[in-house]
Chains A and B, each alone.
Chain A
Amino acid sequence: MARSYLPPEYIVDINRDKCRRCGLCVRGCGFSVLKWAHTDWQEKMGTFKDGQDDLGVVYQRIVETTPDYIVADSSLCRQCHYCVSHCPEGAINVIKNPVAYRANEHWAAHHMRNIWLQAETGGVLLTGSGNDKAYFSYFDHMVLDACQVTNPSIDPLREPMELRSFLGERPDGLEFERTPEGQVRLKTQLPPHVQLETPIIFPAMSYGAISLNVQKAFAMAAKASGTLMNTGEGGMHQDLYPYADHMIVQVASGRFGVNPGYLRRGRIAEIKIGQGAKPGIGGHLPGEKVDSGVSQTRMIPIGSDAISPAPHHDIYSIEDLAQLIYALKEATEYIKPVSVKISAVHNVAAIASGIARAGADIITIDGFRGGTGAAPLIIRDHVGIPIEVALATVDERLRREGIRNRVSIVASGGIRHSGDVAKAIALGADAVAIGTAALIALGCHVCQSCFTGNCSWGIATQRPELTARQDPERGAELLTNLLRGWSRELKEILGALGLNSIESLRGSRLRLRGVGLSKQELDLLGIKPAGEGA
């Protein structure tokens, strides 16, 4: 990669007094930032012409007389903090480069850096993770209610608190019948559905984008927590078959790894139309990440780029989508719900309504803060809308059309804590999906370099020495803990609201208030401003 003219934004600062030269960071950094000084010199010497023996001699002398130490090429550092987190002496820190650019409210350093980079390469800038720009957050401008006096709050440590949720179509009503013995029993046959013990699931992250060990951690955690993970568009590796009952199997435009067995194995089949981080763009897996395991699972040659087409080439309209939905239902014998995942864009409510009418049982909406393994920076940062408004308008539209029961809504894209979960549920989500938050639990520092395949944390990489860093058992424990922690907090929130079951919060926008939102935004979200009573 060409060097930009800008000095590095962050500096890897090594405290030589503290460093005891164990070399852990040198092996640790996936981006080859840290090196032994001797190695570094030798490499630099190598750039001189052959035959310059004197230099070789000089180098030898230095190596013999100067003890080795660690140097950093800060311009390569991606701020993943693997070295900082692992240095046993606490000798490394990554600090913001204090060099001050001429202040300019319009031309920020990252604008200049990107221009220089593109001037040299003529390429599309890639990035990973989710949109990091300073867009307005609706989550941060909504607050929840609590009970007092007229209505007691409930103590989750003393009273039952229920988070059990369901995904799938629900009929508008139930029919009962009397047995000959006079017993009342249920007559209605329920459509296929999936029970979740907590309304939080793991979203689509493909094997290829992330390592198999991480997928295993998700699978085990999903099973242990009574929830779901999602294969993403990369097929299902054999090792995950035992967990298939807790997996959503995705069918994306590239159809990687899709076959009848794959569809039948999963708990839910999901058609991926869009992704919040890159609406209108298909999945990108650089060939560097396609090793033999990925190649087998995806059914593509080793080392080949796996570029999913932007649209599904058999879906050019809503009736085509209906056909694919029913093709999947046929393949799974109508016993599994079919989900359709879309990105949050301007017309999301109308699109969602069409999807519900096309026969989907679940609609997953991914907001513009949603993460990705690789996406063009310009798309990630400038296309799509926030999940809060997308969710609110979809839920309201489906209700107004009387078809809300036909589908469940899963919301994702930038959910950071249980407060966001509660707010999303109050806006109308049946469940939420947490991708970035789950990766953070596994060590991800949101350095946005997933597309490089060098993730030091062993998450977004297939380099065996890096993926070995993710122990699936430990990862499952971390993820299970995270879900347990958030679920407990959700119970606290419910208790404060005077509720003892999550379905009484779901869609109950009366329990939300907006702070600092315009009238129009409040109307879109369907909530009242703070200060307005019941």
Chain B
Amino acid sequence: MREGMVRIPSGCAISAIMNVKGIRFNGEAIIRSITCMHERSNGLGGGFAAYGIYPRFRDLYALHLLYESDRGRIDAESFIKDNFVVEHSESIPTRPVVSITDPPMFYRYFVSVRPDSLDALRGEDEAELLVRATMTVNNCIRDAFMVSAGKNMGVFKGVGFPEDIARFFRLEEYEGYLWTAHGRFPTNTPGWWGGAHPFGILDWTVVHNGEVSSYGINKRYLEMFGYHLTLQTDTEVVAYLFDLLHRRQKVPLNLVARALASPFWKDIDRMPEEERAMYKAIRMVYGPAMLNGPFSIIVAFNGGMMGLNDRIKLRPLSCGKKDDFVLMGSEESAIRSIVGDLDEVWDVRAGEMALVQLEEGGVAVG
């Protein structure tokens, strides 16, 4: 059974590294850190998100697509051409890796939105068009799957140990200022590459370790706002919740974190009046969006990342700092495997977040 037809709980490893000045570096560091947590995955899923990797096409949407048949590619490409202006397209370079068998085909397209399809949107923005295009490809086109669709970023993922996936996609050849990684330990045998993580929508990507016990209501809540959850994974839910709350409803990022991992009432009741009213409103209105159960999450986006831990810290998440680098990982060892002498290292506390953004003026420089 393929991911999406059944819900597959997993244990996981996550890690991330970012240069806050926007200076780009290759994939070796992130590979080393996720490899260090080899024991936390079982070879059934690994993936990476990289930001700042396509400076040549930085103003175009980079669509990463996965095809399981030529038919899927032909259908998806005709859909893409109908909706976008394709400036450049190519297959994503890979190399054979012994442990990786039977991979699907990978292509990428650098596109801009056709002016006429934007007109047709009537007031809605480009982002909405991209979201819809992603949903159409993933729900309606057989054997095709949109892996990521953001500007100057991309997701690389598949079935295998993360280090093997990295070699398969030749990630050491890319340079980005922000990398996240995921190693999966599913309790089932998902053989489908689209189901691996990170999961992305637009330039948002999510890596996640944990099991969201509130999945049932989170899903129904999102459905009310028109999201179709096709993969049945927690990661998908988290990505869509960020999309709904931050992109569509413009809730500030730090408050999105508060909605998803809400402070307890006992703490809210002790806050000064205005703050109390604000958190009460957040819990009242976004209660169905709250993520309950064990999780540590790293959400990445153009310009930053956010680590978030569940309300009672049932999963680990450590952070470290060295010069212009900020690192996160399921284990401190994963961070230390990259940089031994950290300036600072700390654990994200229960229900708290660590938000890292490019410094003022910090841009992804080529």
Contact = CB atoms under 8 A, between A and B. Distances in A.
A, B bound: yes
Interface of A: 147, 150-152, 154, 159-160, 162, 164, 166, 170-176, 184-186, 188, 190, 193, 399, 402, 404-405, 497-501, 503-511, 533-534
A151 B211 contact: yes
Interface in B306-335: 311-312, 314
A154 B310 CA distance: 13
A504 B217 contact: yes
B11 to A, nearest CB: 7
Most buried by B among A171, A184, A497, A507: A507
A166 B266 CA distance: 16
B281 A184 contact: no
B243 to A, nearest CB: 13
Nearest to B264: A160
A172 to B, nearest CB: 8
B312 A506 contact: no
Contacts of A190: 281, 284-285
A184 B224 contact: no
Interface stretch (B57-65, B90-98, B250-258): B250-258
A508 B217 contact: yes
A193 B284 contact: yes
B265 A507 contact: no
B286 interface: yes
Contacts of B211: 150-151, 498
Interface string B167-206: 0000000000000000000010000000000000000000
Contacts of B288: 503, 506-507
Contact of B216 (A170, A501, A507): A507
Interface of B: 6-11, 187, 210-211, 213-217, 219-221, 223-225, 245, 248-252, 254-255, 262, 264-266, 274, 277-278, 281-288, 290, 292-294, 311-312, 314
A174 B282 contact: yes
Contacts of B278: 176, 185-186
Contacts of B249: 172-175
B216 to A, nearest CB: 3
A153 to B, nearest CB: 10
A151 B213 contact: yes
A503 B287 contact: yes
A154 B284 CA distance: 23
B294 A151 contact: yes
Contacts of B11: 150
Given A190-B281, A498-B293, A399 B223 contact: yes
B214 A151 contact: no
Contact of A185 (B224, B251, B274): B274
A500 B216 contact: no
Contacts of B9: 150-151, 534
Contacts of B293: 147, 151, 498-499, 504
A173 B214 contact: no
Contacts of A184: 252, 254-255
Nearest to A403: B224
B183 to A, nearest CB: 16
17 contacts: A151-B9, A170-B284, A170-B285, A172-B225, A174-B281, A175-B250, A184-B254, A186-B274, A399-B220, A399-B223, A405-B285, A497-B213, A498-B293, A503-B290, A504-B290, A506-B288, A508-B216
A321 B213 CA distance: 40
Nearest to A151: B211
Contact of A176 (B6, B252, B290, B294): B252
A140 B302 CA distance: 51
B7 A534 contact: yes
Nearest to A508: B216
Nearest to A171: B285
Contacts of A504: 213-214, 217, 287, 290, 292-293
Contacts of A499: 213-214, 292-293
